[in-house]
Amino acid sequence: MTAETRTFIAPSDIVGIEYECGHCRARHLVPVERFDRVLYQCPNCREGLATATDASHTKRGDDSALHQFVDALKEIQNLSVKVRLELSGGLA
């Protein structure tokens, strides 16, 4: 017999966004419900974190995707249909 374990999470299981600084490895956790701005600079070492979208919006930065992701996550958490996200086997 072969057993397979699959791991799912519900959108509501996602409660925080954690940044990890590529320079000092400090981690900064922001609750999803309080996510209103992107961290552009590491509070610990002052190295850059997320990149910014330029003023003319010709080059999208990390901030654009982060805002879109959090906005979509909040919307999906309140849908009438219940969905779950499957995690890759390497994370189980």
Tokens linked to 15: 């409660």
* Local structure of 66: helix, strand or coil: helix
Sign of CA dihedral 6, 10, 13, 14: positive
Enumerate residues 47-86 that contact Zn ion by CB under 5 A: 47
Choose which of 11, 19, 21, 38 interacts with Zn ion (CB under 5 A). 21
- Among positive and negative, which fits the CA dihedral 34, 81, 63, 14? positive
Stretch that binds Zn ion, among 10-18, 30-38, 44-52, 80-88 (CB under 5 A): 44-52
Binding test (CB under 5 A) with Zn ion, winner from 44, 54, 59, 71: 44
Shortest Cβ distance from residue 28 to Zn ion (Å)? 9
Task: Please give the radius of gyration of the chain, using alpha carbons only, rounded to the nearest integer.
Answer: 17
45 touches Zn ion (CB under 5 A) = yes
Binding site for Zn ion (CB under 5 A): 21, 23-24, 26, 42, 44-45, 47
